[in-house]
A = this chain, B = another copy of it.
Amino acid sequence: MGKQTTTKKKLVEAARDLFWTRGYSNVSVRDIAGAAGADPALVSRYFGGKRALFEATLADIGPWDALSAKRDDLLHAAVASFSHPFDPQKDQANPFTMLVTNVIDPEIGNDIRDLVQTGLADPLAERLGGADAEDQAAMLLAVLFGVALMRKNFQLPALSGAASEDITAMTTCLAEAALRFGDASETA
Contacts and interface: CB of A to CB of B under 8 A. Distances in A.
Interface of A: 22-23, 25-26, 99-101, 103-106, 112-113, 116-117, 121, 125, 134-135, 137-139, 141-147, 149-150, 153-159, 162, 166, 170-171, 173-174, 177-178, 181
Contact of A156 (B117, B143, B153, B162): B117
Contact of A147 (B26, B117, B142, B170): B142
Number of this chain's copies in the complex: 2
**DSSP class of A's interface residues: helix, strand, loop or mixed?**
helix
Given A103-B153, A146-B149, A158 B170 contact: no
Given A138-B158, A139-B147, A147-B142, A153 B104 contact: yes
Contacts of A104: 22-23, 26, 101, 104, 153
Nearest to A142: B146
B135 A142 contact: no
Contacts of A149: 100, 142, 145-146, 149
Contact of A138 (B134, B139, B142, B150): B150
B170 A26 contact: no
B156 A121 contact: yes
For A99, A139, A149, A159, which residue has the most chain B Cβ atoms within 10 angstroms?
A139
Given A104-B153, A106-B26, A174-B174, A134 B158 contact: yes
Contacts of A100: 100, 149, 153
